[in-house]
Amino acid sequence: MSNQTNHRPVRKAVFPVAGLGTRFLPATKVLPKEMLPLNDRPLIQHAFEEAREAGIEEFIFVTGRQKEMLEEHFDFQPELEQVLESRNKQDMLAKVRESEMPAGKLFLTRQPKALGLGHAIWCAHKLVGNEPFAVILPDDVFLAKKSCLAQMVEAYNEWGGNIVATTEVTKEDTARYGIIDIEEDNGRTVKVKNLVEKPDPEQAPSRLAIMGRYILQPEIFNHLSAFETGAGGEIQLTDAIVKMIGSEPLHGFRYEGQRYDCGTRLGFIETNLAFGLADPEIGDQVREILKKHIKGNDEYALSA
């Protein structure tokens, strides 16, 4: 049965964006990986819009060196807006204004060294304070009628505690993710008794993997502050979540929609194709472009 008590609302979201993006060099030599364009907007804006749809009011970026462009992207751009106004480009003006962060809602903190996801989240502890918060990894992008985080907030309002987004992966892919050890399966939600970070496929307790969305209670900072290292010699967020099991309920949440991985070149290309095909303005043209390129070899031509 769900916990029907009132739960403190989730108003803040943490975005770990301090990574160097080395898999995308030389494109990310100067450009932050989170500014790479996915369809018509950068990755970080997709993450921001998902959080906004979920009711998030304050946006906390955990940044590193040479990440100033992330802040600039969400700033008011009077010169650009003036030009668009003068040219009566109302559709473009609307898109620019949609990318502006509300005044006083963007907060920045630094992760000086890459010590792991758990450390990046700990760096935001002063800004989060003593209230529940969401974590959004911008590399994970979702195509869904209702955003993944908005679905999770609904589940949180019912269950409370800590919640992680989950989906089934192949046995071989369990070595790439945090994997859930299931105590009780209720369909959309799974009660979790343990998490294992990137297990050997033969040792994985299930094929239910954690995707890049979390709703966490602030008590997690008590565990992250110990700076204990785990898999890969890094401070793992999953290790701290496990330590809260027993004092806080932990649920895995099976979201509706398709998740894409923008952390690799191939995944980024696939995601752009998926979002291009789903775009009502250009979807048909993208489909025709794909047909044209694949029909370069009739043996592999797409059916009309």
Q: What is the pTM of this model?
A: 0.89
Q: Specify the range with the lowest mean pLDDT, choosing from 31-45, 69-83, 216-230.
A: 69-83
- Span(s) in the chain for CATH 3.90.550.10: 12-262
Pick 12-262's CATH classification: 3.40.50.9100, 3.90.550.10, 3.90.1150.10, 3.40.50.300: 3.90.550.10
Taking only the tens place, the pLDDT of each residue in 250-290 is 999 999 999 999 999 999 999 999 999 999 999 999 999 99
Answer for the pair 207, 247: CB distance below 8 angstroms, yes or no. no
Top-confidence range, 70-79, 158-167, 222-231: 158-167
Q: How confident is the model at residue 93 (pLDDT cuts 50, 70, 90)?
A: confident
| pLDDT the model gives residue 292 | 87
Q: State residue 3's pLDDT score.
A: 47
Long-range contacts of 197-204 (CB under 8 A, 24+ apart): 197/230, 197/231, 197/236, 197/238, 197/239, 198/174, 198/231, 198/232, 199/174, 199/175, 200/175, 201/171, 201/172, 201/174, 201/175, 204/171, 204/174, 204/175, 204/179
* Rounded CA separation 253/214 (Å): 10
Q: Alpha-carbon distance 13 to 51, whole Å?
A: 7
Both tokens assigned to 169? 């992966």
Instruction: Give the whole-angstrom CA distance, residue 284 versus residue 295.
Output: 16
Question: What pLDDT shows up at residue 298?
Answer: 52
In the predicted model, is pLDDT for residue 233 greater than 80?
no
17 compared with 297, residue with greater pLDDT? 17
pLDDT of residue 296: 65
The share of the chain scoring above pLDDT 70, in percent, equals 95
Q: What is the pLDDT of residue 297?
A: 57
242 vs 168: CA distance, rounded Å: 20
The number of residues in the chain equals 304
Q: Residue 1: pLDDT above 60?
A: no
The answer to whether the beta carbons of residues 214 and 237 sit under 8 Å apart is yes
Are 155 and 251 spatial neighbours (Cβ–Cβ below 8 Å)?
yes
Cβ neighbours of residue 126 under 8 Å, at least 6 residues apart?
Answer: 109
Encoding tokens for residue 85?
């106004």
* pLDDT value of position 299: 53
Output the pLDDT for position 304: 45
Classify strands 133-136 and 208-216 as parallel, antiparallel or unpaired.
antiparallel
Name the more confident of 257 and 303.
257
| Contact by Cβ (8 Å): 240, 219 | no
Quote the pLDDT of residue 262.
94
pLDDT in tens, 148-190: 999 999 999 989 999 999 999 999 999 988 899 998 888 889 9
Looking at residue 277, its pLDDT comes to: 95
Percent of the chain with pLDDT over 90: 58
